[in-house]
Amino acid sequence: MRKHLLLFLTLGCSSEQAFIEPIYTPVFVPPLVNQPKATSKDTSWNEEGPVGFHFNRQVEFTTSQDTSAFRYGWKSEKFEVSYGECLQSDCQRTPVYERKEYGESDAGLAKEGDEYWYAWSFYVPLESTQPWAFFGQIMMPPRDNGGNHEPLWMFLKRRGEPFCMVFDFNRNRNAWVCNDATNKNIILLSEYDFAGKWHDIVLHIKFTTSDSGFTRVWVDGQSVGEYTGYTLLSDRKGAVMKYGVYRHSTSGSTIAYFDEIRKGKTREEVDIRLLITP
């Protein structure tokens, strides 16, 4: 009996016996593939959009109505920016900026005290070149027509970094760094999740020069962030929206599809996830 007890105690104290090597189980990461159609085709869907906006279509480029990719219904709007496609003063900047965007006219101005809901869906193919590119902006035109527009929010994607909303970059420390804790930016999607599939963006903004303003954001039905504070500058006459592609000049193309673009006074008016039957 004593011999058996000593053997048990000896084995129990052995460092080799006490250590059990963990079994490594690799995490399965599915391969990324393009998903240009978020749902099955529905030709009965009213493709009248954008709804509620006052976009100025009298610009120096055209986009294509594309039926090969859509968030819902049967078509979307395709933006493709290639090397050398700059406009006016953007061509003299360093670096040169290239763009294809539609922007609201002054008829769509959100002014002091206004509260709006914005929503749109977008899809960027995996093979699209993604340098320093913006895929939308909330801009503040000057009170006089001679000044520059000031950005309130810019939707930025840089290679190797998350997709985020950049707040007031002219006054925001480290504005271009999406995940810097010292700024007011809001991360929307990770680098991995960004491209290859459709995403739904919903914004709720109260516009004011005071600290009572706010911006609340949902991505794919989930709340991802909120900013509280001023959402207008006192020398601006209001805010308008732009969407499309706006990038640092580079070789290759940047492609983005937009669909279900809406602006209204309630979430129920604009959110595609509330407008369609599950």
Q: What is the predicted pLDDT for the residue at 59?
A: 59
Question: Rounded to an integer, what distance in angstroms lies between the CA atom of residue 248 and that of residue 269?
Answer: 35
Q: What is the predicted pLDDT for the residue at 48?
A: 85
Q: What is the predicted pLDDT for the residue at 213?
A: 97
- Spatial CB neighbours of 102, under 8 Å, sequence gap ≥ 6: 55, 56, 57, 59, 63, 242, 243, 244
pLDDT digits (tens, 9 = 90+) for 28-44: 566 789 999 999 999 99
Domain boundaries, the chain: 48-275
pTM: 0.86
Q: What is the predicted pLDDT for the residue at 30?
A: 66
Just give the CATH number of 48-275.
2.60.120.200
Q: What is the predicted pLDDT for the residue at 32?
A: 85
Q: What is the pLDDT along the chain (278 residues), one digit of tens a residue?
A: 444 444 434 444 444 445 565 665 666 566 789 999 999 999 999 998 899 999 876 655 667 889 999 999 999 999 999 998 888 888 988 888 899 999 999 999 999 999 999 999 999 999 987 768 999 999 999 988 777 889 999 999 998 889 999 998 777 766 777 877 667 899 999 999 999 999 999 999 999 999 999 999 999 999 999 999 999 999 999 999 999 999 988 889 999 999 999 999 999 999 999 999 76
List, in sequence order, every residue forming a beta bridge with 239; answer none if it has no partner: 110
